Amino acid sequence: MFRFRSQLAIWLVTVFLVWAKQSPRRTFEVRATPSGPVLVGVDVLEEQNFDFLRGKHVGLITNQTGVDSGGRRTIDVLANAPGVKLVALFSPEHGIAGKSLDAVIGDSTDGATALPIYSLYGTTRRPTDEMLKGIDLLVFDLQDVGVRFYTYVTTMAYSLEAAGSHHIPFVILDRPDPLGGNVIEGPMLDPDRTSFTAYFPLPVRYGMTIGELARLFNTENHVGADLRVVRLRNWSRLDAYDRTGLSWISPSPNLRTFNEAVVYPGIEILEAGGVSVGRGTDSPFEVLGAPWIHAEALASELNRRTIPGVRFESTSFSPGENPYKGESCSGIKILLTNRDAFRSLRLGLEIADALNRMYPEQFQLQKVITLLGSQSTIDRLARGDPPTKIIAGWSADLDKFRQMRGKYLLYQ
């Protein structure tokens, strides 16, 4: 009898394992073993032999981040693609090489291809009728940073609108959300605060690729363009940029490392309040300070709060850019200890709360709304509500956003 029961148990386990292997249902999420390296949109386009670009006069919106897996510029890839006529280039903030710190960038010419480069961060921030003459397809290839107020988002959206109004197909060569595609953070943008740094009511971190975001804008903002997204291959929403195998290319002069991009959403919102976030130093967004801050006191206060995934050290630095360009600033160095537990907007709110309590005469809390985009969040900070309770108050709005967002996701 014991032998029979043992054999029966083995048979039942075997049947279960076979069923589990064949069943499409999953009770928990597991990162599948990738079938190969992550391929970005331009890589996939090359594999497809540029089939839907052939016979087209193409305009390309790009910068230094637009490269294929071999390191070739998307500019050069399309300029040499059989049957494709690349006729114009468009550059976002920071220019085609991503090195400019100037507020306004003029038009120029690409040295390698002699193609005109039209600036979308100069006298206009939208492709004009004149720029689009002779173009019958627009291609977008820029690495976004997954943050609402990063201007590449609006450059994409304005270009999508221009393509729609001119009946020009718009193609996005997709790239990963560097911060991963699962975590959503921050308050929703107040509907009356749209601007070049806030194109559409989104949370600060929306957890979408630029291609997914374009799909959302195209429908929810009633753009109605002829949009096509060339999808990534082998990318999972669980993958932050350092897990893709792709080389980090600075999307702008002050985002030189992936770690800087991780803390950026929560630190950048504070700059408008009158602090330096380390622009023009060796570690922008990983330091924060001002001439009126007492470094040891602020570091001690923030460490006392035991913010998950991060700790703080006192430091001093002289920023190379405003505010406080060339002045000695005291403040904090931000050290990530557990990136999976870390939430950048929790960090930003805790620092804002500490600065408002410790330096109410110097820190201009109301100006933090410039990028945070939520008056109710500012009001609650001003009342002294704990950051954890403020964050909990975002939940209902973020749940609604998740439902809308889900219709436009392309990746698991």
260 phi and psi, to 5 degrees? Answer: -65, -40
What confidence score (pLDDT) does residue 212 get? 98
What confidence score (pLDDT) does residue 35 get? 57
Biggest CA–CA distance in the chain, Å, is 88
Question: Is CATH 3.40.640.10 correct for 258-373?
Answer: no
Q: 359: closest CA among 274, 250, 243?
A: 274
What confidence score (pLDDT) does residue 103 get? 82
What confidence score (pLDDT) does residue 11 get? 42
Cis bond leading into 323, ω under 30°?
Answer: yes
Q: What is the C-alpha separation between 65 and 43, in angstroms, rounded?
A: 13
Q: Which CATH superfamily, name and number, covers 41-250+402-408?
A: Uncharacterised protein PF07075, DUF1343 (3.40.50.12170)
What confidence score (pLDDT) does residue 227 get? 98
Q: pLDDT tens digit string along 162-209?
A: 999 999 999 999 999 999 999 999 999 999 999 999 999 999 999 999
Q: Is 77 exposed, middle or buried (0-12, 13-18, 19+ CB in 10 A)?
A: buried
Domain with CATH 3.40.50.12170 in the chain: 41-250+402-408
Q: pLDDT tens digit string along 208-265?
A: 999 999 999 999 999 999 999 999 999 999 999 999 999 999 999 999 999 999 999 9
What confidence score (pLDDT) does residue 126 get? 98
Q: What is the pLDDT along the chain (412 residues), one digit of tens a residue?
A: 434 344 444 444 343 333 333 333 222 233 344 457 999 999 999 999 999 999 999 999 999 999 999 999 999 999 999 999 999 999 999 999 999 987 899 999 999 999 999 999 999 999 999 999 999 999 999 999 999 999 999 999 999 999 999 999 999 999 999 999 999 999 999 999 999 999 999 999 999 999 999 999 999 999 999 999 999 999 999 999 999 999 999 999 999 999 999 999 999 999 999 999 999 999 999 999 999 999 999 999 999 999 999 999 999 999 999 999 999 999 999 999 999 999 999 999 999 999 999 999 999 999 999 999 999 999 999 999 999 999 999 999 999 999 999 999 999 9
Q: 66: closest CA among 180, 196, 230?
A: 230
Q: What is the C-alpha separation between 310 and 385, in angstroms, rounded?
A: 22
Q: What is the C-alpha separation between 410 and 405, in angstroms, rounded?
A: 11
Domain with CATH 3.90.1150.140 in the chain: 258-373
Q: 317: closest CA among 283, 350, 348, 354?
A: 283
